[in-house]
């Protein structure tokens, strides 16, 4: 069995939780190369303000690819101010059909405080059915934990933080160094 030309980068868990009129996106800080932790304090959740309309976004995958996608999303939002769904669909179409963008290896969770979407390179713009979305190496652990917590008294941020802590306890590619961004009513 031959070794890949480029070793696999792993290490992201991003979760988005919508509850009580607020949306929280949280991400861990770990970046791993194979079985080595390269960085424990990466910031994979960002606040964007294209045209004065705030959006929060978290990314999993290649950092350079994710930044390229975030820049493209900002341009789409500037062209369609306040229309996150439209901007996401336009980005997904470009991502799927553009020869350069098609090779980008990243996923995004984005929100404007109302909508919550997952964007993929397959052309998907997905709105989660249960008010929770997660991506990355530990995404399914965080998703399961958050869904179990949704019916309780915890608010969106507490759910995201608790779900991320559970994912960090289970997934070796996830740590507890969080970046958390909140958007929406208080």
| pLDDT per residue of the chain (186 residues) written in tens, 0 to 9 | 444 444 444 568 999 999 999 999 999 999 888 888 889 999 999 999 877 889 999 999 888 888 888 999 999 999 999 999 999 999 999 888 887 777 788 889 999 999 999 998 888 999 999 999 999 999 999 999 999 999 999 999 999 999 999 999 999 999 999 999 999 865
E strands, 69-175, in order: 106-111, 116-119, 125-126, 132-136
Domain tally for the chain? 1
CATH number at residue 43: 3.60.20.10
User: Rounded CA gap, 81 and 79, in Å?
Assistant: 6
User: Within a domain: residue 4?
Assistant: no
User: Within a domain: residue 3?
Assistant: no
Percent of the chain whose predicted confidence (pLDDT) is above 90: 66
Say whether 41 is catalytic.
no
User: Within a domain: residue 1?
Assistant: no
Strand order in the sheet with 13-19: 132-136, 13-19, 22-27, 179-184
User: Within a domain: residue 51?
Assistant: yes
Tell me the residue range of the domain where 157 lies. 9-184
What tokens were used for 184?
A: 């929406």
> Per the residue annotation, which of 12, 13, 174, 182 is the catalytic one?
12
How far apart, in Å, do the first and last CA atoms of the chain sit? 54
């Amino acid at each position: 069995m031959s070794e890949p030309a480029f070793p696999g980068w792993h290490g992201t868990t991003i979760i988005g939780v919508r509850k009580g009129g607020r949306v929280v996106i949280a991400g861990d800080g770990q970046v791993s190369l194979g079985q080595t932790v390269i960085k424990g304090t990466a910031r994979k959740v960002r606040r964007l303000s294209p045209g004065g309309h705030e959006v929060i976004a978290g990314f999993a995958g290649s950092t350079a690819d994710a930044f390229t996608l975030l820049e493209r999303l900002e341009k789409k939002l500037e062209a369609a101010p306040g229309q996150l769904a439209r901007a996401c669909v336009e980005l997904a179409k470009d991502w799927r059909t553009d020869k350069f963008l098609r090779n980008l290896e990243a996923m995004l969770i984005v929100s404007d405080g109302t909508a919550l979407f997952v964007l993929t390179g397959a052309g998907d713009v997905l709105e989660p059915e249960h008010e929770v979305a997660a991506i990355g190496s530990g995404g399914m652990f965080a998703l399961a934990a958050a869904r179990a917590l949704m019916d309780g008294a915890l608010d969106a941020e507490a759910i995201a933080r608790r779900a991320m802590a559970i994912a960090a306890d289970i997934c070796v590619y996830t740590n507890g160094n969080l970046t958390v961004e909140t958007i929406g009513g208080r």
